[in-house]
A = this chain, B = another copy of it.
């Protein structure tokens, strides 16, 4: 790998920079009026994801306002089940709704064969972004991790404790394992094509990785993530993969050691001292400002941003949130944060 020049890639390459690169989870989204405007032109959220011109437009929007070092493909982690043939609908104000899959038997209605053709519009979006992004901005592709995607497929919707998936996994680990395997294979196909279309970095979102007992965390979070990372490393050895095992707590250390991710994204509750010693000592870290400081603004935003900048300045670090931007965020607070980070002169 030649030495990268883009700031995000340099950090992912292990460099400790004078100031970290910055991008924010959900930097394209409902807190921006121009996003709401574009979204209103699409016939629903899925249609927005599958319309390359609209998806390119919303990906670009935050970059016109803020000096982010990266753009992340506008898409959704549930495009994979949609591509596998499970019906996915986004209902206004309700979140996603799927026809729940609750047994191995139901897997026969899903198929890997249509994944790549179904997701072709996403690859077109990536290609268009690759051709149009400013040259110092890194393009990030992404997918949900197998476990998190499976929790929606089994539960039929998001749920605070992923009860349906977890009970199935306890009752019938072999059957549930087939679902995980299918999602894992689909995710590899999906991400390889994103990279072929121009994605320079991949992020794997495991938003529901919290509260899993050791053995379940090993089987459903670590093992499939390791498989995806190994497959991508084989086909695209130069593309870094950032893992985000949200809520993993102390298990994040094992996640980093055993999945082979290039970097780890930290949730808002990840203690700094622990993270420096157990995560940043191994790989570049990303995070972990509380997105609610962007709602509050003022001293809380200033102080928390400064604490994170200083605290992670001793090693490779990518400034980000610990969770996505929430819709009620005033865009001027995002501007203020970007100023703080890009103007950072070191601890």
Q: A residues engaging B (CB < 8 A)?
A: 160-161, 163, 166-167, 170-171, 173, 210-217, 247-251, 254, 267-272, 274, 278, 288, 290, 292-293, 295-298, 300-301, 304, 307, 322-323, 326
Q: Which residues of B contact A295 (CB under 8 A)?
A: 163, 167, 170
Q: Which chain B residue shows the least CB distance to A250?
A: B274
Nearest chain B CB to A241's CB is how many angstroms away?
23
Of the residues B173, B247, B251, B307, contact of A247 by C-beta under 8 Å:
B247
Q: Which of A211, A290, A296, A297 has the most CB of B within 10 A?
A: A211
Cβ contact within 8 Å between A213 and B170:
no
Question: Quick one: which of B170, B212, B217 contacts A296, CB cutoff 8 A?
Answer: B170
Query: Can you list 21 A-B contacts (CB < 8 A)?
Result: A160-B160, A161-B292, A167-B295, A167-B296, A170-B290, A170-B295, A170-B301, A171-B298, A173-B300, A210-B269, A211-B290, A214-B271, A214-B307, A215-B307, A247-B247, A247-B249, A248-B249, A248-B269, A249-B250, A250-B270, A251-B274
A303 to chain B, nearest CB (A): 8
Instruction: Quote the shortest CB–CB distance from A268 to chain B (angstroms).
Output: 5
In the complex, chain B residues whose CB is within 8 Å of the CB of A293: 170
> Cβ of A213 and Cβ of B274 under 8 Å apart?
no
Q: Which of B251, B254, B290 contacts A269 (CB 8 A)?
A: B251
Not counting A170-B301, A217-B271, A247-B269, a sample of 14 additional A-B residue pairs whose C-beta atoms are within 8 angstroms of each other reads A161-B292, A170-B296, A171-B296, A171-B300, A213-B269, A213-B288, A213-B304, A213-B322, A214-B272, A249-B249, A249-B250, A250-B250, A251-B271, A251-B274
Determine which of B213, B270, B288, B323 lies in contact with A290 in the assembled complex, contact meaning CB atoms within 8 Å: B213
Q: Are B247 and A211 in contact (CB under 8 A)?
A: yes
Query: Do A326 and B163 touch (CB < 8 A)?
Result: yes
The CA of A160 and the CA of B326, in the complex, are separated in Å by 13
Q: What is the CA–CA distance of A301 and B251 in the complex, to the nearest angstrom?
A: 22
Neighbour of A163 across the interface among B214, B292, B297, B322, CB < 8 A: B292
* CB nearest to A293 among chain B residues: B170
- When distances are taken between beta carbons in the complex, the residues of chain B under 8 Å from A250 are 249-250, 270-271, 274, 278
Name the residue of chain B whose CB is nearest to the CB of A158.
B160
Shortest distance between the CB of A296 and any CB in chain B (Å): 4
Are A269 and B167 in contact (CB-based, < 8 A)? no
Measured in the bound complex, the distance between the Cα atoms of B295 and A161 in whole Å is: 13
